[in-house]
Structure 1
Amino acid sequence: MPDWRSHPVSRRAAIGTAVALGAVGLRGGDRSASAAGHVDDPSAPTAGSHHTPGNNTVVGTVDHVRNGFDPADIVTDFDYGELTVEEDGRAVRQWVITAVDRELEVAPGVFFPAWTFNGRVPGPTLRCVEGERLRILFQNGGSHPHSMHFHGIHSARMDGVPGGPGMINPGEDFVYEFEAKPFGCHLYHCHAMPLKRHIHKGMYGAFIVDPDPARHPEEHSAALARRHATPEHAVWQEFVMVMNGFDTNFDDENEFYAVNSIPFAYFNNPIRIERSRPVRIYLINVTEFDPINSFHLHANFFDYYDHGTTLTPTLRTIDTVMQCQAQRGIIEFSFADHEPGLYMFHAHQSEFAELGWMSHLEVV
């Protein structure tokens, strides 16, 4: 195989070389190639897809069972941990998180040597309530030093940075403990050096802190709608979307982009939503090697809560939002006045969309 890093070619050209070698196919209107290297019928849609011929996508399917996770599950998988009440009446929420080296199929026939939290990328979506005591037992079962750095408010001892007690060698463990604050849409990630490698290899996940309605009497109704396990919250359809990418030839440029790791996962298998119920998306950008990522919704507009740390929108009636790495926010919208059908959403950097960050909502 040629050394792409020694020639002045773009990553799109590199992917074209991969197509010729049978590693991956990009479906076009008049050509396609499968991972096995044979020519498919260009008039035939990809198995299990809901789109018409002529769209740009990968050919074939990723083995989610082999990977151990499925984007169709991750998008609604909130991990509430184990909740207990201590003698003083304080609510304590606990998780066990393990760093694991794992080879993942990030596109059909394309494998990536990932570093993971609990064997998946992104890691578990940890969800709690403002004011709870959080206790995370972190075990390093990987081959490199790792940590968990939470975007929240905590002491230096709990920060998980080089030189601190929370940086853990292989075979060791550590307990992070702090109060859940502020409420909002946050993230956690490994903070070991080189930072770009540990993040790019997959060591990140969503960290959601629901507001405690009792602490926000002036915005009590809005807080109830965000706080899980309330009737006001139950009417919402909620999804977590972590925007990421994969540099599969390690030249510091991504060959694939996605939401929740697998290119075109929600394009071929749309996310079903009920037209009558409002939608809330916890959106997080952890894309390495690119300064920004974005989210664009077709045929509709949304309200945006930057970092999720406010109960009133920071932006109203927009259809596109940009995020730098580690920026995040909450998106809220409704399709109540729309006809049923497929509605597209994707990055509005065209190359990101063409390389995997392209999706559908199916309004029913």
Structure 2
Amino acid sequence: MPVDTSKRGRDVSSAVETSLPTAPPALVTEPVSASRRALLVGGLVAAGGAAVAASRAQSQATPDPMAGHAMPGGAVDPYSAHDSGVAHGNMTMVGQVDHARNGFDPTAMLTDWETGRTEVLPDGRTLRTFEVDAIDMEIEIAPGVFFPAWTFNGRVPGPALRAKEGERLRIIFRNLGSHPHSMHFHGIHSARMDGVQGAGLIDPGEEFVYEFDARPFGCHLYHCHALPLKRHMHKGMYGLFVVDPDPARHPEFAAVAASRVLGSPENAEWQELAMVMNGFDTNFDGENEVYAVNTVGQAYMNAPIRIDKSRPVRIYLMNATEFDPINSFHLHGNFFDYYDTGSQLTPTLRTVDVIMQCQAQRGILEFSFADHEDGLYMFHAHQAEFTELGWMGFFDVREAGA
């Protein structure tokens, strides 16, 4: 009897990796209808950029896919290879994304905090000014896979804006795109500064200035609030908005607060990373075909994130994924403390290895590899489909200077 795959399939691995069921060929009388994601992966193979099917082919073509560094007694440590993302299951993409063409690099994005320019107001407070432009541009989200994005400052996600609690913020927003856009900040501000119709939503060629105080402290976000909202979100109009706590306002946790103030001696002890989970619907049918953290599928498999094991790690994590109810973050071989929204100085969850976030949910993860062996430690979404479609990476943990 024919195989029924007409239901909306979510299992890409079965669609790609399994040719047909084990029934005799004579019983298969009709073509099998492939899921849209299977078709996409097939198209990516043809274009030289498939995540799953190509990585499987690579695995079959590699005599020893788990080859790593030699260990005492002749054993092989597959996780010690610092130069290859294929050391773990060969789940890597074929080809390379042209980051120079994109105008942004996922590795640089991890630590690229936009702090604007500052001046002192008559009342002694700091005025921090940012300039943000809405720009239409095509970006490469996987090798050979291009997406017509709407961006803030020519990148997806937009610039990671960072300020300090209590500062006065001024954001000069210019719409250089082809559609109405705005900036809606998740923070505390007046209705006039909300980034909705009549309050900061502007047409192409126009400019608007948002002003408000930086509060509360934490890991927040901004995004376009023009309608249809899902289209503007999905096409890339979002970014991190981090407000560092003022230690003077939190004397009972002054040391913890100081460690979050960018540029402070206490903060220099940490390795801080900005990560935005996102997805891309490449055929505009309302479902994503590519998933990533910081836009480029499997960017951190191809270029693992270097971690100095002597210094703790802090991740500012936000979920901007459209069309899927939740996204998640899972860390291999370790656990972390989690601060939901980052607006508190004590963890909301302690010693966990998976957290879930709905769209616009965000938080801070803190962990350490101080007592770990050197090696490649994987992190990914714990929706298996997301990992196979791009949301997967490695931390390359080493001694300082190694």
Question: Is TM more than 0.5 here?
Answer: yes
Aligned to 2:41: 16
Q: Structure 2 vs 1, CA of residues 274 and 87 (structure 1 numbering), >3 Å: closer, same or farther?
A: same
1:100 aligns with 2:135: yes
1:275 aligns with 2:309: yes
Q: Structure 2 vs 1, CA of residues 147 and 30 (structure 1 numbering), >3 Å: closer, same or farther?
A: closer
1:132 aligns with 2:158: no
Contact 1:25/1:32 (CA < 8 Å) preserved in 2? Answer: no
1:115 aligns with 2:150: yes
SS across alignment from 1:139 = strand
Q: Structure 2 vs 1, CA of residues 111 and 19 (structure 1 numbering), >3 Å: closer, same or farther?
A: closer
Contact 1:11/1:254 (CA < 8 Å) preserved in 2? Answer: no
Amino acid at match of 2:49: V
Amino acid at match of 1:25: A
Residue 54 of structure 1 deviates from its aligned partner by 4.8
1:161 aligns with 2:196: yes
Aligned to 1:312: 346
Note the alpha carbon deviations across 1:185-222, whole angstroms, 9 max, x for none: 00000000000000000000000000000101111111
* RMSD (CA atoms): 2.0
Aligned to 1:144: 179
Distance 1:326 1:59 in 2: 31
TM-score, normalised relative to structure 2: 0.83
Note the alpha carbon deviations across 1:233-274, whole angstroms, 9 max, x for none: 110000000000111111111010000000000011100011
SS across alignment from 2:147 = strand
- Structure 1's unaligned 5+ residue stretches are 34-39
Distance 1:110 1:217 in 2: 50
Distance 1:117 1:150 in 2: 13
Note the alpha carbon deviations across 1:64-106, whole angstroms, 9 max, x for none: 0000000010011111110110222120000110000000011
Residue 31 of structure 1 deviates from its aligned partner by 1.9
Aligned to 1:256: 290
Aligned to 2:101: 66
Contact 2:305/2:396 (CA < 8 Å) preserved in 1? Answer: yes
SS across alignment from 1:137 = strand
Structure exhibiting the larger radius of gyration computed from Cα positions: 2
Residue 122 of structure 1 deviates from its aligned partner by 0.3
SS across alignment from 1:61 = coil
Contact 1:160/1:166 (CA < 8 Å) preserved in 2? Answer: yes
1:31 aligns with 2:61: no
Distance 1:53 1:178 in 2: 47
Matches within 5 A, 1:319-358: 319-358=353-392
Amino acid at match of 2:90: N
Match of residue 297, structure 1, among 319, 323, 331: 331
Aligned residues: 350
SS across alignment from 2:248 = helix
Amino acid at match of 2:346: T
Question: As a proportion of its length, which structure holds more helix?
Answer: 2
Residue 227 of structure 1 deviates from its aligned partner by 1.3
1:175 aligns with 2:209: yes
SS across alignment from 1:356 = coil
Contact 2:54/2:93 (CA < 8 Å) preserved in 1? Answer: no
Distance 1:245 1:29 in 2: 20
Residue 14 of structure 1 deviates from its aligned partner by 2.3
SS across alignment from 2:291 = strand
Note the alpha carbon deviations across 1:281-331, whole angstroms, 9 max, x for none: 000000000000000000000000000000000000000000000000000
Contact 1:74/1:260 (CA < 8 Å) preserved in 2? Answer: yes
Distance 2:173 2:336 in 1: 37
TM-score, normalised relative to structure 1: 0.92
Distance 1:8 1:214 in 2: 63
Contact 2:54/2:94 (CA < 8 Å) preserved in 1? Answer: no
Distance 1:93 1:115 in 2: 25
Amino acid at match of 1:249: N
Aligned to 2:241: 207
- Structure 2's unaligned 5+ residue stretches are 1-7, 9-31, 66-82
Residue 49 of structure 1 deviates from its aligned partner by 3.8
Residue 16 of structure 1 deviates from its aligned partner by 3.2
